[in-house]
Structure 1
Amino acid sequence: MKINAFADVSLRAIMVLAAAPEGTLLTTQAVADAVGTPYNHVSKAMVRLRALGFIDVERGRLGGSRLNEAGRKATVGELLRHLDSRQDPAECQSPTKACPLINECGLRHAMNKAREAFYRELDTVVISSLPHARQMIPVFQSIGLKPEFRTPATLS
């Protein structure tokens, strides 16, 4: 399955926050630079992550965002369920009209079951366990920080 661009940016942003040293506030610009994505896209992702309760935000000149306890425990499947804006995984609409087979369509039902199976598999992956040193050290060096990596024992 393919995730939408907004979910991709949101996952990358939360992974950067997960690797940040405990208590470190990262500006949206720093996160945007770290993930190589335009500020406007990351800004929208940060607003959504805050609304979902995965990050805390402090405003002001010295403000920024950090992953909170809910964010540390969040799974990829959980986050994708919140961010997947596609109502129908089978594109059952054309520019001119709905598919004539749309009523009681077995394909739509099968695609929805497959999407949920995809999410269930990703429910086993805790987002904060994904960043690793080889991946994040160059990213954090580019924005002037040293990443922090938690062992599975410290994630509990």
Structure 2
Amino acid sequence: MNLKKYTDYGLRVLLFAGMKENEELVNIKEISEVFNISQHHLGKIVHELNKLELIETIRGRNGGIRLAKPAEEINIGIVVRQLENDFNMLECFEKGQKHCVIEPGCTLKHVVNRALHAFFKVLDEYTLKDLIHNEQELKELMGIR
């Protein structure tokens, strides 16, 4: 399974925002500097996370972003499903595509489909809070006070 950078960066934004205390605001520039990611690209991701109601964006001079709900209510499996738009791991998963000659008798698609479900079963077991259980160590690594 290969997640897009977009999803990876989206999870990083959530992790960063989740480590701020008392709903303290963070900004795209901070996240960009910590992870060495383009501010422009992060802006698109933040916009999407806001549309998904995972973060809140506050405009203005002292604006920024923060989680829209507690970290323990943000399920990682759901976030990945929302940010990824293509789980067609094999050509035969795609609707409207010319299919492989062995498709009617092939079991590979079933094996891969089971693996995909297992992947999400594991992700569904975790919340954002679970991913920041070592908060102090992560804060030190990211230079957060």
What is the TM-score when the length of structure 1 is the normalising length? 0.77
- 2-structure distance, mates of 1:10, 1:50: 11
Query: CA contact under 8 A between 1:53 and 1:71: conserved in structure 2?
Result: no
> Is the partner of 1:56 in helix, strand or coil?
strand
Q: Flag the 1:59–1:81 CA change in 2: closer, same or farther, 3 A.
A: same
What pairs with 1:44-123 in structure 2 (closer than 5 Å)? 44-69=44-69, 72-91=72-91, 98-101=98-101, 104=104, 106-123=107-124
1:27 corresponds to: 27
Which amino acid in 2 is paired with 1:130? L
- 2-structure distance, mates of 1:45, 1:125: 21
Identity of aligned residues (%): 24
> Is the partner of 1:69 in helix, strand or coil?
coil
Residue 124 (1) aligns with residue 139 (2): no
> Is the partner of 1:108 in helix, strand or coil?
helix
Q: Aligned pair count? A: 139
- 1-structure distance, mates of 2:47, 2:24: 18
- 1-structure distance, mates of 2:31, 2:92: 36
Residue 138 (1) aligns with residue 141 (2): yes
Gaps of 5+ in 1: 147-156
> How far apart are 1:129 and its partner, in Å?
2.7
Query: CA contact under 8 A between 1:29 and 1:39: conserved in structure 2?
Result: yes
Gaps of 5+ in 2: none
What pairs with 1:1-12 in structure 2 (closer than 5 Å)? 1-12=1-12
Q: What is the Cα-based RMSD across aligned positions, in Å?
A: 2.3
Which amino acid in 1 is paired with 2:23? G
> How far apart are 1:89 and its partner, in Å?
1.5
- 2-structure distance, mates of 1:125, 1:119: 10
> How far apart are 1:34 and its partner, in Å?
2.2
Deviations 1:69-101 (A, max 9, x none): 1654112111111111214112459xxx74434
Which amino acid in 1 is paired with 2:137? R
Query: CA contact under 8 A between 2:74 and 2:128: conserved in structure 1?
Result: yes
- 1-structure distance, mates of 2:8, 2:37: 11
> How far apart are 1:43 and its partner, in Å?
1.1
